Structure 1
Amino acid sequence: MSLSKQLYIIISIIFILIFTGNFIISVKNTKEYLEIESITKAQDTATSLGMSLKTLLKDKYDPEIGSIINAIANRGFYKEIRLENSFFNIQDSDLIAASKDLDNSKWKVSNVLIDERIGKLEVIGTNDLEKELLALEDGNIKENLSKEETKKTYDFIANDSYNHVKNVTFSFTATNENGKTINTSANLNVDKTLVQVSRDEKFDYVPQWFIHMIPINLQEQSSEISNGWQTTAIIYVSANAGDAYAKLYEQAKNAIVYALVAFVISMLILFVFVQYLLKPLKRIEKLANSIAVGKFETIDELPWTTEIKTVALAMNDMSRKIEAIIDKLNTNLENLTKKLSCDELTQLDLRQNFETDMKDMFIQKNTGYVFIIKIFELANFAKNHTNKEINSFIKKFALILSTTKLNEDSKIMAYRFFGSEFAIIAKDFTDKDAKEYSLKLQKRFEELANEYIKKDIVHIGATPFNPIGTIPQILQSANEAYEKATLIGSNEIFIEEHTTSARAMEEWKELIFDIVDNSKFNLKYIGNATTLNTTSNDIIMQEAFASIKDKDNLDIPIGTFVSIAERYGKIIDFDKKIITKVINNILINKISHDISINLSIDSISNTGFILWLEKTIDEHKAIAKQLVFSVTAYAVAKDVEKFKFFADEMHEHGAKVIIKRFESKFIPLNSIKDFNLDYIRLAREYTNNVTNDSSKQSFIEAIVDLTNLLNIKLFAENVQEDEDIETIKKLHVYAASR
């Protein structure tokens, strides 16, 4: 996850935590405030109403009482306003009147009872006291009052759980003046409510989930109304929670809207800030990626943030140091390459360079001549001269080969194979040029012979370059010419003439077209490459090799086939068919390791071929990483820019790229970092007999260090000897094929 995303997530989490905490606290405080405000207002209203109704309660059923309470309730702030009598009195006459079992006789009530679960009765007074007071005043009255019945008054007190019971059954015993006794009951309405006005709680736009989530508890408030020392009534007021919910919901909604707006604005500001903050980091990332692919740049515009500036300076320092290390490695490799490819005594290129240049002749479709030159009887000469004299003679001999030119534009390259054997490649020479050049060489060698008083010093054989032949065939022809020169005489020359090919070019053309168009070739998988520094012997890469035969079922050298196919424009079609067969083979046989596919420079330089290849890779994404497209070092050297483009395109589509037969002569070592490579496969000359050659070991060790720095895996090609395998394993080469 990118740093910017992490910052956005962290800031968002912090913002949400802060907002959530503030929101909860704000809503809680607002809720408590609204509850207190509503309860206080309800209490104030109850007190005020109690004072207003006090004078009217002489008649508790006065209609003006209801008018006043309705006027207050209509304001809508209250859920309920209720005026209740402070007590409920029952007299004997009430019981007699409510009983269905008693007639109009005079009855005396006794043993009044109710269900104890509902409440209790208290006798609060009789007319006995009144009688005694009147009797004191007037004896006659006393006599009359004594004849009257004693009447009782009861106070009904309901239990808490039956506070809202309206009808209560009273059991009692009634006795009339005739002495008749009846056990009966009376059902009386005991509701103490005098006036009650209720309003529904309305939540017009407050969602139900909000009400359930945040309960508001508004307790009923009351005020007692007294008449002297006695409480005559109680006024109850309940606040309407709808108003409180509306205010609370509005406040919560505004808080959320504000938070969202603040969050969006904050994130926009953060985005601008993070982009500005991370801009230096992106430059550092770009520098790191550049270093990874071998481009050692530096950051010129240093960031102002101290920590990032320190990292940028460290990256600049690392880039310079790695570049210095690679430059040093390149210098060492160049020196080692020169030592491996040049003869120490004569400073002429060795045979491996001759073969490389011959390959280049095939690739470039050059014409010319190949000369084989040998010092005659060097062993006998050495018997009669000191080592210093022998070395001086060989140096002068080699100097003639390297400095003799037909003209200033002559493209002549001289080589020392070993001992007394030398060779020359003369590019673009005609038959006439070859003869004139041979005569110049002969003249100078005769001068050297006179200097050393040696009559027979050299013989020269020459053969024309055959673009559809092979290197061994051309060398064999040149050696045959040399043998013929030795038969002619001292310091003589023999030049082979151009011969007609075994097949006419038209026959070659017909054969090539038939093979490519009809896919008349087989694929073999050779060069099983395994890693060297692990215990696993699993194959990690094979090379797809085309086996091609002519009409006589004889093998056609692949180099000859490719050269002629390039001449007649069939090499691109051939490469396409190879790729298609490889992909099908991977899919059918479920191959899990990489397969390298050789491509010609004509193919990787062709835009149409690259587009076809990209489409083909995209159609087989699952195996794209197993396709390793291989190009020889001398083919890369022919058009470096096109190879770079090809390598970049292949990596964009998930495939890999390898340079095979790598030789520093074709690709300068300081140019490796410019290529987007996955693998490099060394030419076999660097690993052949490496155990006994310290120069080769030093070269491999240096190139291993270089490729490790550039994140490129190094392969060794066609290593035959077990001891050579062990040596390159100790040098930490990634893998090798045998």
Structure 2
Amino acid sequence: MSLSKQLYLIISLIFFMIFTGNFIISIKNTKEYLETESISKAQDTATTLGFNLKTLINDKNNPEIETTINAVSNSGFYKEIRLEDSLFTIKESDLVKASKDLDKGIWEVSNIVIDSNIGILETLTQSDDFMQELITLNGSVPNEENKNIVPSEDVYTFIPNLKNKGKTSLDIKFTATNPENKIIETNATLELNKVLVQVNRDIKFDSVPQWFINLIPIDLGEQYTEISDGWRTSAVLFVSANPGEAYNKLYAQAKSSIFYSIISFIISIVILYLFVQYLLKPLKILENSALSIAEGKFVKVKATSNTTELITLSNAFNDMSNKIEATITRLNTNIENMSKKLSTDELTGLAIRQTFETDMKQLFIEKAKGYILTIRITDLGGFAKSHTSNEVNNFIKEFANILETTKLSDDKKIFAYRFFGSEFAIIAKDFSNEDIVKFANILKDKFEKLGDKFEKKDVAHIGAAIFNPFSTTSQILQSANQAYEKATIIGQNEIFISQENELVKDMESWRDFVTETIDNASFTVKFIGNFTRCNSDEIIMQEAFTSIKDKENNDIPIGTFVSIAEKYEKIVDFDKKVIQKVINYILINDVKYDIAINLSLESINNTAFIAWLEQKLSENKNIVSRLVFSVTAYAVAKDINKFKFFISQMKSLGAKVIIKRYETRFISLNDIKDLNLDYLRLAREYTNDVCIDFSKQSFIESIAEISNLLNIKVLAENVQKDEDFKYIKSLNLFAASR
């Protein structure tokens, strides 16, 4: 996860925690405030309304009481307003009537008992003893004057508990005594309705979702006030606030809090984004600088921030870049010196046979014209016996100087080589038959003059063979050696020029054979050269090698076959068939290591081939990482920009690229660092006798150091001797093959 994403995430989490805490506290405080406010308003309303009803409570059936209560309830703020009676008058006659055990006679009630949890029962009026005594004075027998006088009865007042609402069932136990002094213990059940007036309003939450109501319950307790009639509480007025209004306000508060929090969050993220971009801009520059350094581009970082840490980091990057650049420059210089030393003869300064073979490969690629000359000093051993070492060395130097400096014209290129001892060679590029004859005669004249100087009449013989782009280096050298042998027969310092330019097969037969072989894919792909890790025996790569046989089952030189395929524009088809065979091999055998596939320069320069290859790799994404496309160093050197484009295309698809037979004289390490290679395979000449050749050791070690800095894996190919292979494994190379 990038630093910017981490910053966005942590800031978002902090913002969310702060918002959540503030939101919960805000909602809680608002809820408590609304509850307090609603309860207080309900209590005030109960008090005010109770005061207004006090003058009307004498007559509890007065319709004006309900009118007054409805007027207040219509405001909608109240869920319920209820007026309950607090005084119930109960007469003895009511108890007698309610009792199932008493008849309709005259009964006197005493010893009244009720449940104290329901309320209390008080005596309002005692029986009139004066009237009873008056009746007695008039005689025990009733007369016309006293027969309508009925003894007064007691009246009781029932005061219910406030907790009891609505209708109350009152069970009264009492003792009843009639005039005959009959005593009965009985009970009576009276149904009392406390509610005088009750007005309800629906609780509406039109704009508040149910989940919000369930999540945040609002408890608005019922408030009441007592209405007195004289010194007694006559009625109780209950008022309940409607929570709908509180929920509306609370939900509106929650929505506004969330809305403004989201706006604040968006603004904060925008500000954070701008700040992070400003903060990370120097880091992005440092990142690009680090990638450039890894690719070998040693840029300098300019501090664009005032942050002390970033300035320090920029300075550290610059210091690191300078040191790595200095190291690579030093190693490059060492490599160039070592390469020059390894590719030239120490005594004469001429190129050696390794360079000759590489230059011949270039001629094959270019399909150049010219001649190859084999030149040998006659009886150098006998000359050395009769002369000092210094004289012999001077003779060889002057002889080599003649080969190197003799020219016909600027457009006729001469490349001189010393193979070993007395054996030399020349590549005469772009020479015609007339040119080679003239050039050979000039050499002959100079040899004779050199012989006069060192008193050696027979200096050297020259054998020349025409360059055949469809042959091989060994075949051409063999023709030149045969010409040399003929020159020795002719006489001293003589020349023989072979004009044979025939192939084993005629060109028409070659064309038919190559076309048929490629069209039918009648060739075999073998997998050779097990490249193993230098620090283990793990196989990391093999090379796909094409084996082609003629009708007589004789091996056809792959170089000759490729040259003719290029001549007749069949090389792209050939590379396609090879790639398809390699893909099939990997799929069938489930190969776990890389397979190197050699490509021609014509193929990687062909846009149709690149398009075909991209499609083929897309179809085989599961194995594309095991494909390594290989191109020779001298082929890359012809069009390094085109090769760079090819690398970028292959890397984007997940494939790998290798340069094989690498020599610094074709591609410098400064160019290598710009290619973004996966592998670099050294020419086999660098590893032959490496265990005893200090120059080769220094060269390979320098290559390994630079490659490690550039993240390129270096391979050593075809190491012949056990001692060389053991030494190679001790170096910091990636892998080697035998």
Normalised-by-shorter TM-score class: over 0.9
Q: CA deviation at 1:366?
A: 0.6
Equivalent position of 1:238 in the other structure: 240
Give the corresponding residue for 2:326: 324
- 1:255 matched residue in structure 2: 257
1:733 equivalenced with 2:733 (yes/no):
yes
User: For 1:599 and 1:176, how far apart are their aligned partners in 2?
Assistant: 135
Q: Give the letter for the 1:616 counterpart.
A: K
Q: Can you list the C-alpha shifts for 1:445-466, whole angstroms capped at 9, x where unaligned?
A: 1111101111111111111111
Distance 2:720 2:267 in 1: 70
| Partners of 2:98 and 2:691 in 1: CA distance | 131
- 1:12 equivalent in structure 2: 12
Stretch of structure 1 that moved more, 551-560 or 262-271: 262-271
Asked if structure 2 preserves the Cα contact closer than 8 Å seen for 1:135 and 1:141, the reply is: no
Is 1:302 the counterpart of 2:304? The answer is yes
Q: Which amino acid aligns with 1:598?
A: N
Deviations 1:82-116 (A, max 9, x none): 222334443322212334554432122345455x5
- Aligned pairs for 1:80-479 within 5 A: 80-99=80-99, 102-114=102-114, 116=115, 119=118, 122-124=121-123, 127=126, 131=129, 151-154=153-156, 156=158, 166-179=168-181, 184-300=186-302, 302-479=304-481
Counterpart CA distance in 2 for 1:104 and 1:674 is 126
SS at match of 1:251: helix
1:526 CA drift (Å): 0.3
> 1: CA distance between counterparts of 2:87 and 2:581?
108
CA contact (8 A) 1:368 1:464 kept: yes
Deviation of 1:153 (Å): 4.4
SS in 2 for 1:354: helix
CA 1:86 to 1:141, structure 2 compared with 1: closer, same or farther past 3 Å?
farther
The answer on whether the counterparts of 1:599 and 1:629 sit within 8 Å (CA) in structure 2 is yes
Query: Residue type matched to 2:313 in 1?
Result: V
1:443 deviation in Å? 0.7
| Corresponding residue for residue 28 of structure 1 | 28
Q: Distance in 2 between matches of 1:157 and 1:127?
A: 18
SS in 2 for 1:621: coil
1:692 corresponding residue in structure 2: 692
How far residue 566 of structure 1 moved from its aligned partner, in angstroms, is 0.5
Distance in 2 separating the partners of 1:557 and 1:449: 42
**RMSD of aligned alpha carbons:** 2.6
Structure 2 vs 1, CA of residues 163 and 223 (structure 1 numbering), >3 Å: closer, same or farther?
closer
| Helix, strand or coil at the partner of 2:596 | strand
The one-letter code matched in structure 1 to 2:603 is S
Q: CA deviation at 1:21?
A: 1.3
Q: Tell which deviates more after alignment, 649-658 or 258-267.
A: 258-267
Which residue matches 2:701?
701
Name the stretch that deviates more: 18-27 or 301-310: 301-310
Deviation by residue 1:490-511 (Cα, 9 ceiling, x = unmatched): 1111111224222111111111
Aligned mates of 1:137, 1:22 — CA distance in 2: 84
Deviation at 1:155, TM superposition (A): 5.0
Aligned letter for 2:553? N
Distance in 2 of aligned mates of 1:304 and 1:571 = 59
Worse-matched range after superposition: 418-427 or 189-198 = 189-198
Q: Which residue of 2 aligns with 1:490?
A: 492
Read off the aligned partner of 1:694 and give its amino acid letter: F
Letter in 2 for 1:265: I
Cα distance change of structure 1 residues 159 and 62 upon mapping to structure 2, 3 Å threshold? closer
**Equivalent residue letter for 2:423:** E
CA distance in structure 2 between the partners assigned to 1:694 and 1:572 by the alignment: 42
Q: Secondary structure at the match of 1:51?
A: helix
CA deviation digits over 1:33-88, x for unaligned, max 9? 10110011111111112222222222233222222111111111111112223344
Distance 1:157 1:228 in 2: 15
2:132, 2:151 within 8 Å by CA — same for their partners in 1?
no
Q: Which deviates further from its counterpart, 505-514 or 285-294?
A: 285-294
Inter-partner Cα distance in structure 1 for 2:304 and 2:5: 24
Shift of 1:207: 0.7
Q: Which amino acid aligns with 1:614?
A: E
Shift of residue 139 of structure 1? Answer: 11
**Secondary structure at 2:289's aligned position in 1?**
helix
Count of residue pairs the alignment pairs up? 732
1:116-167 superposed Cα distances (whole Å, 9 cap, x missing partner) = 5964654535515x647x999999799999x975744445566788666522
Cα gap change, 1:83/1:161 in structure 2, threshold over 3 Å: closer, same or farther? Answer: closer
Question: Is the 2:532–2:736 contact (alpha carbons within 8 Å) kept by the matching residues of 1?
Answer: yes
Work out the CA distance in 2 between the residues paired with 1:403 and 1:485. Answer: 23
Q: 1:127 and 1:301 mapped to 2: Cα distance? A: 108
Q: Partners in 1 of 2:79 and 2:549 — Cα distance?
A: 106
Query: For residues 166-206 of structure 1, what are the alpha-carbon distances to aligned partners after superposition, in whole Å with 9 as ceiling and x for unaligned?
Result: 22343445443345555654331233332222212111121
Instruction: Give unmatched runs, 5+ long, in structure 1.
Output: none
- Partner amino acid, structure 1, of 2:123: I
* Cα 1:436–1:363 shift into 2, 3 Å: same
In 2: Cα distance, 1:396 partner to 1:382 partner: 15
Q: Where does the alignment leave 5 or more consecutive residues of structure 2 unmatched?
A: 141-145
Answer with 185-194 or 655-664: which moved more: 185-194
Q: Kindly provide the amino acid, as one letter, of the partner of residue 506 in structure 1.
A: E
* Distance (Å, rounded) in 2 between the aligned partners of 1:56 and 1:416: 139
Q: 1:631: which partner in 2?
A: 631
Question: Retained in 1: the 8 A contact 2:227–2:236?
Answer: yes
Farther off after superposition, 456-465 or 90-99: 90-99
Amino acid of the structure 1 residue aligned with 2:71: A
Stretch of structure 1 that moved more, 510-519 or 457-466: 457-466
Identity of aligned residues (%): 59
Taking the aligned partners of 2:567 and 2:242, their CA distance within structure 1 comes to 100
Question: Could you say what secondary structure the match of 1:222 adopts?
Answer: strand
The one-letter amino acid of 2:594's match is D
SS in 1 for 2:637: helix
Whether contact under 8 Å (1:126, 1:150) holds in the other structure is no
Decide whether the 8 Å contact of 1:121 with 1:154 is kept in 2.
no
Please report the TM-score for the alignment, with normalisation by the length of structure 2.
Answer: 0.94
Q: Corresponding residue for 2:143?
A: none
> What is the CA–CA distance in structure 2 between the aligned matches of 1:586 and 1:458, rounded to whole Å?
55
- For 1:519-598, what aligned pairs fall within 5 Å after superposition? 519-534=521-536, 537-598=537-598
Q: CA deviation at 1:314?
A: 2.7
Q: Displacement, 1:643? A: 0.5
Bigger shift: 105-114 or 599-608? 105-114
User: Is this contact kept in 1: 2:125–2:156, CA < 8 A?
Assistant: no
How far the C-alpha of 1:10 sits from its partner, in A, is: 1.7
Within 2, Cα distance between the matches of 1:345 and 1:165? Answer: 133
- Name 1:717's counterpart in structure 2: 717
Q: Contact conserved, 2:87 with 2:160, CA < 8 A, in 1? A: no
8 Å contact 2:302–2:314 — kept in the other structure? Answer: no
Q: Is the 8 A contact 1:136 1:142 kept in 2?
A: no
Pairing 1:36-115 to 2, within 5 Å after superposition: 36-99=36-99, 102-114=102-114
The CA deviation at 1:306 is: 3.8
Give runs of aligned pairs for residues 624-703 of structure 1, distance below 5 A: 624-703=624-703
* 8 Å Cα contact 1:113/1:121 also seen in 2: no
Give distance in 2, aligned partners of 1:629 and 1:94: 117
Q: Secondary structure of 2:691's match?
A: helix
Secondary structure at the aligned position of 1:168 is classed as strand
Q: When the two structures are superposed, what TM-score results if normalisation uses the length of structure 1?
A: 0.94
Asked if the contact 2:294/2:711 (under 8 Å) is kept, the reply is yes
* CA deviation map 1:242-283 (0-9, x unaligned): 100011001111111222222223323333333343333322
Contact (CA 8 Å) 1:539, 1:593: kept in 2 or not?
A: yes
> Which stretch of structure 1 is more off in the superposition, 408-417 or 62-71?
62-71
